Amino acid sequence: MEKKEQLYEGKAKKVYATEDPNLVIVSYKDDATAFDGAKKGTIVGKGVINNQMTNRLMAKMEKAGIPTHFVKELSERDTLVKKVSIVPLEVIIRNISAGHFASRYGVEEGIVFSEPTIEFSYKNDDLHDPLMNAYHAVALKLATWEEIELIKKYAFAVNDTLKAFWSECGVTLVDFKLEFGKTVDGQIVLADEISPDTCRLWDSKTNEKLDKDRFRRDLGGVEDAYAEVMKRLMAHDAQ
């Protein structure tokens, strides 16, 4: 499967057409952004790690009964996926207070919730991805009630699967962002990526941050953190 014309370039990935109109190639970049693109940088090797980690975790989702856009890994940075139209909702699951949640509600980071929370934000850079409830999403025809219920069901199932997996790797899953898409035949599937770019991952013993917060907050050791998470994933899968 060869790359044809570039269809899209985002902050972290490029998307290319293929000879099959229903399949595209996603190519992962090392570019890093934060705060709506206000902060820019490079995390060396990030594209390779995020591509390979996403593909392994997407395969785990499929085994757990959650449909995804994943088809086949083509190279270190390139993956063949089903072409989808992205539902313009970012779906955020939180197990522990951190990031925007902590600052928005004036609480400290690290509060473990008795059950996970879910929130939606409108995927729109110009508006800075504002928080949105399901009624607003339906009113704006971004999704139907049925689609939102299915997305919620899948998102919580992803959380259950990811939490259990990362726990076995000595990593605490704090929170994460998902995106869903609709295939040509209208099926809702998990799309985008699952990586240290989109998940908050803390070391289970020390609570050391092993994710993009190291870049956002100038904590240093960003490449090492990404590499450490990947190393634990590979070690787990090799058992």
Domain count, the chain: 2
16 pLDDT band (50/70/90 cuts)? very high
Co-location of 31 and 117 in the same domain: no
pLDDT for the residue 37? 84
- Amino acid type, 30: D
Going by C-alpha positions, the residue among 56, 48, 65, 77 that lies closest to residue 165 is 56
pLDDT digits (tens, 9 = 90+) for 207-236: 999 999 999 999 999 999 999 999 999 999
Q: Sign of the CA dihedral 199, 200, 203, 208? A: positive
Among 13-22, 34-43, 82-91, 105-114, which stretch is predicted with the lowest mean pLDDT? Answer: 34-43
Q: How far is CA 47 from CA 22, 75, 112, 197, 206, in A?
A: 24, 11, 31, 10, 26
- Amino acid type, 65: G
pLDDT digits (tens, 9 = 90+) for 128-149: 999 999 999 999 999 999 999 9
Domain enclosing residue 191, as ranges: 85-238
Cβ distance 176 to 76 under 8 Å?
Answer: no
For residue 140, what are the contacts with CB-CB under 8 A and spacing of at least 6? 122
Question: What's the whole-model pTM score?
Answer: 0.96
pLDDT at residue 36 greater than cutoff 90: no
Assign residue 95 the CATH number of its domain: 3.30.470.20
Q: Classify residue 1: in a domain, yes or no.
A: no
Chain centroid offset of residue 139 CA: 26
Co-location of 113 and 141 in the same domain: yes
Co-location of 173 and 106 in the same domain: yes
Which of the listed residues 48, 66, 82 is the one where a domain comes to its end?
82
Q: Classify residue 26: in a domain, yes or no.
A: yes
Q: H or E element: which one contains 149?
A: helix 145-168
